[in-house]
């Protein structure tokens, strides 16, 4: 069973829990979503200035039918429920300033898988 198969149930749970409140509470408007390819590798580099930005970025990517995969600071994976959901949904922990290349290898693998 591949990493994608293992991650899928957690991704579906995260999507069901996070996206409806985001849709109800925020009036986000996304432009140029047509630039995100429907399938195959896609790298979307997003800046974020608040804790809500990753949710908005995920919402936009899911809205076009893609499954987002993020690099996230490893401290988030230490938060009991959040960490389990992130890991279970296949998100990639990064230890800032460590020089560890493992997150890049995992990101490259995810990108190659489309």
Print the domain residue range for 58. Answer: 3-25+44-113
For residues 89 and 4, give the distance between their C-alpha atoms in angstroms, rounded to a whole number. Answer: 9
User: Quick one: which H or E segment has residue 15?
Assistant: helix 3-25
pLDDT at residue 3 in the model: 43
Q: Is residue 39 part of a domain?
A: no
Q: Is residue 58 part of a domain?
A: yes
Q: Is residue 30 part of a domain?
A: no
Name the nearest CA neighbour of 68 among 51, 54, 48, 52: 54
Q: What's the predicted TM-score (pTM) here?
A: 0.77
Q: Positive or negative CA dihedral for 60, 108, 89, 70?
A: negative
In tens, the pLDDT along 49-75 reads 888 888 888 889 988 999 889 999 999
For residues 88 and 49, give the distance between their C-alpha atoms in angstroms, rounded to a whole number. Answer: 25
pLDDT at 99 > cutoff 50: yes
Q: Is residue 33 part of a domain?
A: no
Tokens describing residue 51: 């804790």
Total domains, the chain: 1
Mark out the alpha helices in 43-114 (DSSP H runs): 53-63, 80-88, 102-113
User: Quick one: which H or E segment has residue 71?
Assistant: strand 71-73
Q: Is residue 8 part of a domain?
A: yes
pLDDT at 5 > cutoff 80: no
**Cβ neighbours for 43, distance < 8 A, ≥ 6 positions apart:** 111
């Amino acid at each position: 069973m591949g990493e994608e198969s293992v991650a899928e149930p957690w991704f579906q749970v995260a999507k069901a829990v996070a996206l409806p409140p985001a849709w109800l509470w925020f009036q986000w408007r996304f432009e140029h979503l047509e630039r995100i390819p429907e399938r195959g590798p896609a790298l979307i580099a997003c800046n974020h200035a608040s804790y809500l930005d990753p949710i908005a970025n995920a919402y936009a990517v899911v809205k076009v039918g893609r499954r987002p995969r993020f690099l996230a600071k490893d401290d988030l994976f230490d938060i009991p429920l959040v960490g389990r959901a992130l890991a279970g949904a296949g998100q990639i922990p990064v230890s800032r300033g460590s020089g560890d290349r493992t997150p890049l290898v995992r990101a490259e693998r995810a990108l190659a898988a489309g």
